[in-house]
Amino acid sequence: MHSLEYSFNPKCYYNRRSREFFSFPVKLKIMSVQILHNPRCSKSRQTLQLLKDQGIEPEIIDYLKTPPTTEQLADILDKLDMQPRDLMRKKEKEYKETGMNDASLDKDALIAGMVATPKLIERPIVLANGKAAIGRPPEDVLAIL
């Protein structure tokens, strides 16, 4: 979804024909915001509400039903400046069950494991303006808007 942000020129103009005052927008910024969301997660719900409170209607991606591709997850990691293991939920039982706790796994194997088992991906992740942020705490996502 897109949110529009207007900032108006402080000078007002008068239209003699319509007899109305008006100003011209001097900046129009279209912002595309996505949230990788788990509706069962309280932090994810809080982050979504925070975005809505800011007047932003993000594209909501239920990443458990529609996990990111390997390429998308690699891009998200780059934007977060994180390694795959830093974005993993290590306390989930699937972390050990799927062998993701194996220290010898390389970056590609970890990303593939996260795509195959999206429950291991930390949440929520907000993408905006070519940047990404994890909503823990939810206020952290405001820095990229």
Which residue ranges make up each domain of the chain?
31-144
Q: Which fold has domain 31-144?
A: Glutaredoxin (3.40.30)
Question: Tokens 């997660």 belong to which residue?
Answer: 41
| Catalytic member of 3, 31, 41, 60 | 41
41 is catalytic: yes
Please tell me the predicted confidence (pLDDT) of residue 26: 44
32 Cβ contact list (under 8 Å, min separation 6): 1, 2, 59, 128
Written as one letter, the residue type at 134 is: I
What does the pLDDT look like over 27-67, one tens digit per residue?
A: 445 579 999 999 999 999 999 999 999 989 999 999 999 99
Give the residues of the chain that fall short of pLDDT 70: 1-30
Written as one letter, the residue type at 78 is: D
Inter-residue contact 124 to 45 (CB < 8 Å): no
Tell me the pTM.
Answer: 0.79
Please tell me the predicted confidence (pLDDT) of residue 11: 55
The whole-angstrom separation of Cα 45 and Cα 70 is 25
